[in-house]
Structure 1
Amino acid sequence: MADNQRIHPAVPVATSATAPLVPPSSSVSEKGTQVHRASPLQGGGPVIFAKPRKRKGCCCRLLCGLISLLLLILILIGIVAAVIYFVFQPKLPQYSVDRLQISALRLNFDLTLYAQFDVKITATNPNKKIGIYYEKGGRLSVWYSNDKLCEGSLPRFYQGHQNTTRLDITLTGQSESGSTIMAALQQQQQTGQIPLDLKVDAPVSVELGTMKLRKVKILGRCSLVVDSLSTNSMISIKASNCSFGMKL
């Protein structure tokens, strides 16, 4: 019996050590960022694997908000303009040159041209619900080609609904190169058709009902053709073409 017993050698039991969470060639920074350190055989410096950051859409949201606000403002302006148009039906005032008389047109000793024109203008407000305040600073001028002959001030006044107002305005001025301008005017007078431009620059305030709005400018130009430039005589206006606009 004793001979039949076999004694088996003891097999050493391998104890499994817990595997490290970070490879030996790696280390963990204080903020939890895994840093892989290359072995000397591999060469190169440490390679850092950073956590991806989330992109913030603050700028995009701000831009979308500004665009939406701008569109809303434009829509409100359009609605207000449409209401004003359909309720008040605004129309530009109308002007006509009734009379033009030359009181003086002569050369001075310094060869400047002195001119004095007396102009009668009719201004009509065709609006039923809009009044017009003509403010200080309005100017009326007479031009020959690109040379301003004379100018004068427009009076301050209020023009009510569907009102017609007649204005008598005296224009005076001196122009350089008077001899050249006078020679050209005399040559034109021989044809009996002298082109002149009457320009209007009038700051006005518009009254809608009982509300007075900010000042705007009425800019106009009347292209005239007269038969003569004789002083102290009535001048016949052979043609008149006027156009006007409003500048905010």
Structure 2
Amino acid sequence: METQPPYQPKYVMLNSNHSTNLRPPPKRRNIPRYHSSHPGKSSGSCCLKCLCCCFLFWFALIILLGGAAFYLYSMLQPEIPRYNVDRFDVNAFNVQQDFSLHTEFVVTVKSDNPNQHIGFQYGKDSSVVVTYKDSVLCAGKLPAFLQPHSNTTMIQILLKGDSEFGSGLQEALMQNRKSGQIPLLVEVKAPISVVIRDFPMRQVTVLLNCSLVVDNLSPKKKARILSSTYHYAVEL
């Protein structure tokens, strides 16, 4: 009775000597080719997202503020108030025994506020100075008051002063009196707050220089204003 040949495996491993070796290879651990996470890339993407969010936030804020400013401007339609020296009265213009000059003027300023929704609050710390050829003649201050919207106010300013009046100024003044053209400079410095519908805003300082030419400086006589030039400036 024939014996069957022993069972032969389906796969045979040959060594270098062409001999069969049926020992299986040792088990090996499969090493993954790629890492499951990349910490460097994830932190960089987070920073980029934060920058994008900040940029979008500031861009939206600028758009909102610009839209609000445009809306307020179109609704309020702000205009600069207009000032004009309406009267220049001379109460005193006397040379004293010590050759000093005593002057007393009353200057009436017309303030016109054309705004329909904006008023102006005039503060206390104001000053008004009248000079002749760089020499101070007299000084005073504006009254503190609130000028409402769509309003015209006549402001009377009392100015007094005693100043040195040398021979040079006397000769120049005599020549101006003969010609009927006396140049004066009125300098106004006033703190003003813009009031929007009863809400005062930040206070600013308004500077007004008015170059006047009057025909006389005789006491108790109204001086006629021949010409006037105005220059404005604002200090924040």
Q: Which moved more, 1:198-207 or 1:88-97?
A: 88-97
Q: Which residue of 2 aligns with 1:43?
A: none
Give the alignment partner of residue 189 of structure 1, picking from 160, 172, 177.
177
1:90 deviates by 1.9
- Pick closer, same or farther for the CA change 1:245–1:128 going to 2, 3 Å: farther
Secondary structure of the corresponding residue to residue 218 of structure 2: coil
Query: Partners in 1 of 2:76 and 2:134 — Cα distance?
Result: 39
1:80 deviates by 6.0
Structure having the larger proportion of residues in helix: 2
Q: Deviations over 1:162-219 (max 9, x none)?
A: 1011122210112234443233211211111111111111111111224211211111
- Report the TM-score, using the length of structure 2 for normalisation: 0.68
Is the aligned partner of 1:86 residue 2:100? no
Query: Partners in 2 of 1:128 and 1:239 — Cα distance?
Result: 30
1:84 deviates by 4.0
Letter in 2 for 1:173: G
Secondary structure of the corresponding residue to residue 98 of structure 1: strand
Give the alignment partner of residue 119 of structure 2, picking from 124, 131, 152.
131
Q: Which residue of 1 aligns with 2:235?
A: 247
Secondary structure of the corresponding residue to residue 79 of structure 2: coil
1:146 deviates by 1.2
Whether the 8 Å contact between 1:107 and 1:179 is mirrored in structure 2 is no
Give the alignment partner of residue 229 of structure 1, picking from 209, 214, 217.
217
1:112 deviates by 2.6
Q: Which residue of 2 aligns with 1:105?
A: 93
Query: Partners in 2 of 1:80 and 1:116 — Cα distance?
Result: 49
Is the aligned partner of 1:146 residue 2:131? no
Letter in 1 for 2:197: G
Q: Which residue of 1 aligns with 2:17?
A: none
Q: Which residue of 2 aligns with 1:11?
A: none
Letter in 2 for 1:155: P
Q: Deviations over 1:39-95 (max 9, x none)?
A: xxxxxxxxxxxxxxxxxxxxxxxxx9xxx9xx9899887666544433322222111
Which consecutive residues of structure 1, in runs of 5 or more, have no partner in the other structure? Answer: 1-63
- Report the TM-score, using the length of structure 1 for normalisation: 0.65
Query: Partners in 1 of 2:129 and 2:96 — Cα distance?
Result: 20
Give the alignment partner of residue 217 of structure 1, picking from 186, 189, 205.
205
- Pick closer, same or farther for the CA change 1:227–1:165 going to 2, 3 Å: same
Query: Partners in 2 of 1:176 and 1:97 — Cα distance?
Result: 26
Q: Which residue of 2 aligns with 1:165?
A: 153
1:152 deviates by 0.8
Query: Partners in 2 of 1:171 and 1:135 — Cα distance?
Result: 18
Whether the 8 Å contact between 1:113 and 1:178 is mirrored in structure 2 is no
Q: Percent identity?
A: 39
Secondary structure of the corresponding residue to residue 190 of structure 1: helix
Letter in 2 for 1:246: V
Letter in 2 for 1:236: R
Give the alignment partner of residue 96 of structure 1, picking from 79, 84, 92.
84
1:159 deviates by 0.4
Secondary structure of the corresponding residue to residue 179 of structure 2: coil
Q: Which residue of 1 aligns with 2:45?
A: none
Q: Deviations over 1:111-166 (max 9, x none)?
A: 33221111111111111111101111112221112112111111011100010111
Query: Partners in 2 of 1:135 and 1:81 — Cα distance?
Result: 26
Query: Partners in 2 of 1:185 and 1:119 — Cα distance?
Result: 20
Whether the 8 Å contact between 1:93 and 1:123 is mirrored in structure 2 is yes
